[in-house]
Amino acid sequence: MPISGFPEWLPPQRMIEQFVLDKIRSTFELYGFAPLETRAVEPVETLLSKGETSKEIYLLRRLQEESATSDDQLGLHFDLTVPFARFVVENNGKLQFPFRRYQIQKVWRGERPQEGRYREFLQADIDVVNRDTLPFHFDTEMPLVIGDVFRSLPIPQAIIQVNNRKVCEGFYRGLGLPDTAQVLRTVDKLDKIGPDKVAAALVETAGATDAQAAACLKLAEISASDGSFVDRVRALGVTDPLLDEGLSELLQVVETAAEHAPGLVVAELKIARGLDYYTGTVYETQLRGYERFGSVCSGGRYETLASVGNTRFPGVGISIGVSRLLGILFGQNALTVSRSVPTCVVVAVPSEDKRSGCDRIATALRRRGIPTEVAPTAAKFGKQIQFADRRGIPYVWFPGSPDTVKDIRSGEQVEASAADWTPPAADLQPVVSAG
């Protein structure tokens, strides 16, 4: 029976998933990111130190194991950034910096499942880390990579919302609210609980006055696809050096994206991101028409996630929630694939004693890169054509003197040789398209 939050796609959906993963992988590699895979488990203390709540971490232990002490408990990783930071620390002597890597792996979170939100899901991450300092231009590159990924897929337009925690923290500090982390966490709930409850929570948990809470909400209302957000923040009358730094950085991200990919990036000053390790730029991505489902791709800059002694390894990264993205699109029937199997050609079997000859034809086609299967039984040819048709397979091959191949969609049948016949490029592999 199904287990809630652990998706299992049917083969056509899995083919769509693999198509999407191939596009993601090839785009990441076009930008020079190298592949990496880290272990699925980390010490629980490592996971807990990075801002995740203990109730969302799955523990790993043997069925008969005595209760483990907290020192040696292992948990399944809840994202790919924390294990990546640990990997960098352990292998920094073997890596060339700045180190650009991508990871495409499953992660696990014990949260309440709902549409597009799972307990086991696939993520695709890119990060750049450096020793001691990381130039800011890497922050401006991240949205461009993701923009290229999403433009290569038959999905609705992606809008990447960007903010900078320095803008928020500097603004809160300039207002006279010292517990900036608490204010950030509270404002991050704006879409979930609304402005009135956020204002009340700021007064209750962050020690804000009504006027300070109102100013925090004013900042969160600012949104712009160009540099106009800077003047709108200035108009709120708050000053702080950290605020100035954040505005300058955020402006660079927005202006770089506007030059290379107009319409891709929007400055959205309510974006905060829930994880504690982000220190500067933060990203969230929504699909046009699917905004109600929230972000399908997010990340940001972190300065202190990884360190060895006095050496820090600052980084910036962004993660595509592949299962989340696909789950939402599958739920709306927004993606289709042209056939339910990879097969392009079925070789018909005239009689069982001629099966070995049919196998030789299939082998010759496969050697030339044409996905081929042999019909399962020597039924009447009408039934063998039906077998192909039900699976969306476009061609049936009839052995004979000479051999012929039939496009069962158009009914056209032509003489063919397994040594040189090639289907049109559009038919060779299943085609993924918008539903």
**What is the CA angle 70-82-201, rounded to 5?**
85
Lowest mean pLDDT among 27-31, 63-67, 149-153: 63-67
d(CA 2, CA 4): 6
**Delimiting residues of CATH 3.30.930.10 domain(s) in the chain:** 1-10+32-135+288-337
Over residues 51-66, the mean pLDDT reads 79
What percent of the chain lies above the pLDDT cut of 70? 97
| pLDDT higher than threshold 80 for residue 205 | yes
For residue 265, what are the CA distances in angstroms to 180, 301, 319, 390? 26, 16, 16, 43
Over residues 42-67, the mean pLDDT reads 81
Q: 377 in helix, strand or coil?
A: coil
Over residues 77-96, the mean pLDDT reads 94
Cβ atoms within 10 Å, residue 392: 15
Over residues 298-310, the mean pLDDT reads 90
Over residues 202-222, the mean pLDDT reads 93
**Delimiting residues of CATH 3.40.50.800 domain(s) in the chain:** 345-434
Q: Which of 399, 396, 397, 400 is nearest to 408 (CA)?
A: 396
Distance spanning both ends of the chain, measured CA to CA? 28
Comparing 192 with 35, the larger pLDDT belongs to 35
Give me the CATH code for the 345-434 domain, please: 3.40.50.800
Lowest mean pLDDT among 65-69, 223-227, 286-290, 400-404: 65-69
188 contacts 209 by C-beta, under 8 angstroms: no
d(CA 104, CA 65): 31
Where does the pLDDT of residue 111 fall: very low under 50, low under 70, confident under 90, or very high at 90 and above? confident
pTM above 0.85, yes or no: yes
The amino acid at residue 353 is D
Where does the pLDDT of residue 53 fall: very low under 50, low under 70, confident under 90, or very high at 90 and above? low
Residues annotated within a binding site: 79-81, 109, 123, 127, 273, 277-278
- Give the pLDDT score at 112: 84
Residues annotated within a binding site for L-histidine: 79-81, 109, 123, 127, 273, 277-278
Over residues 402-421, the mean pLDDT reads 97
The sign one gets for the Cα dihedral 390, 421, 366, 375 is positive
Give me the CATH code for the 1-10+32-135+288-337 domain, please: 3.30.930.10
Where does the pLDDT of residue 328 fall: very low under 50, low under 70, confident under 90, or very high at 90 and above? very high
Q: 272 in helix, strand or coil?
A: coil
Residue whose structure tokens are 């029937």: 333
DSSP string, 112-147: --BTTB-SEEEEEEEEEE-SS---THHHHHHHHHHH
Residue whose structure tokens are 């990997």: 87
- Give the pLDDT score at 184: 87
Q: 287 in helix, strand or coil?
A: strand
| pLDDT higher than threshold 80 for residue 380 | yes
What percent of the chain lies above the pLDDT cut of 90? 84
Q: Which phi and psi (to 5°) does residue 319 adopt? A: -130, 130
- Give the pLDDT score at 370: 98
Where does the pLDDT of residue 64 fall: very low under 50, low under 70, confident under 90, or very high at 90 and above? confident
